[in-house]
Amino acid sequence: MMTSAITNQMLCINLSGDFDALAVEELRNEFDSLSEQQQDIVIDMQNVEFIDSSGIGAIVFLFKRLRSQDLHMSITGVHGQPLELMRYLRIDKCISLFEPQTES
């Protein structure tokens, strides 16, 4: 599932559930249209517990399309398996990843 909101000329996308091949197929048109926006994008993955190679591919696709337009993308709230996989694949070296804030 995906919801979006515009704040400070930035498009915030909230993903929830598993971001796997099935989800990517369901969101393909939305991701295509996101790549045509003329705004920086923040993807909130606070409610994503699992991501597979299809989900990673969709994120990289969007990142490359935005970068070609001199726009930026970051990911916030990433944790657990999605964070581990993104670090393993070194996604964090080109896309800014922000883990959820923990209360002390």
pLDDT in tens, 56-102: 999 999 999 999 999 999 999 999 999 999 999 999 999 999 988 76
Where are the domains positioned within the chain?
Answer: 2-98
Query: What pLDDT, in 10s, does the model give residues 36-52?
Result: 878 999 999 999 999 99
Question: Looking at domain 2-98, which CATH architecture does it have?
Answer: 2-Layer Sandwich (3.30)
Query: pLDDT band at 6, cuts 50/70/90?
Result: low
Q: Would the CA dihedral through 44, 48, 50, 51 be positive or negative?
A: negative
SS3 (DSSP) at 37:
coil
Give this prediction's pTM: 0.86
For residue 32, CA distances in Å to 14, 27, 49, 58 come to 16, 9, 23, 10
